[in-house]
Amino acid sequence: MQSIASKIDHTLLKPDATPAQIESLCKEALSFGTASVCVNPIYVPLCHRLLANSSVKVCTVVGFPLGASTSKSKAFEAAEAVSLGASEIDMVISVASAKAGDKNALVDDIKAVEEASSGAIVKVILEACLLTDAEKVLVCEAALEAGAHFVKTSTGFSTGGATVADVALFRSVVGDKMQIKAAGGIRTYDNALAMLSAGADRLGASATALILAEESRRAGRI
């Protein structure tokens, strides 16, 4: 059975993360064979250098963690990140627009980032813990319309993280037209499997080592 490592964005977004910690993150990602590392924008150049000629992508965040910056500033962030070596952009939506039911504003916000990302993968972070189910559906529809590649559950910095129910709801809206990233609070192998079973294609996790150690233990590899 293939390891779930290839579905994980190995993540370190703490504001006090040091360069040495980011270097360790990249070394772990290479060892584990994760899909990407997900880091704050200041560390994109370092990760790009450390992960050159590997299959591990560099993912960064835009409008993070509140999503309350302007679409123009998010677009600038995205374009700069791609120019520095990011190939995946995780953007936070305007939660205020979602709460107001303003689909056009959501589409414009997402599209601004998508167009500025020059073909990079764009993941749209809903911050689902702050939204009703109807608002989550609205954002998923807006992300589809704007041409994004993923919808993502959470930043991991608000009042809640990924839930199986949210992943299943997202899948019911986007079908096979978009991918889904579950992130926020995924710390066990069982929880990771539950997210994947509900329809997630990618997982954001800082507890990657713990998750994969349990996977190996159950497979009898350790």
pLDDT tens string 106-139: 999 999 999 999 999 999 999 999 999 999 999 9
152 included as an active-site residue: yes
Residue pLDDT, tens place only, 148-165 = 999 999 999 999 999 999
57 included as an active-site residue: no
Spot the catalytic one: 57, 111, 136, 181: 181
Model pTM score:
0.97
In Å, how far are 46, 128, 197 from 58, measured between CA atoms? 10, 24, 25
Written as six digits, the tokens of 5 are 């490592």
SS3 of residue 207 by DSSP: coil
Whether 222 has a pLDDT exceeding 60, the answer reads: no
Cross-strand bridge partners of residue 205: 10
Q: What's the rounded Cα separation, in Å, for the pair 93 and 210?
A: 30
Whether 1 has a pLDDT exceeding 80, the answer reads: no
Spot the catalytic one: 9, 123, 152, 166: 152
- Type of residue numbered 53: N
Written as six digits, the tokens of 65 are 């963690």
103 included as an active-site residue: no
- Type of residue numbered 149: H
Question: Which H or E run includes 78?
Answer: helix 71-84
DSSP state of 175: T
Spot the catalytic one: 90, 123, 136, 166: 90
Q: What's the rounded Cα separation, in Å, for the pair 168 and 212?
A: 24
**Residue-range domains of the chain with CATH:** 4-216 (3.20.20.70)
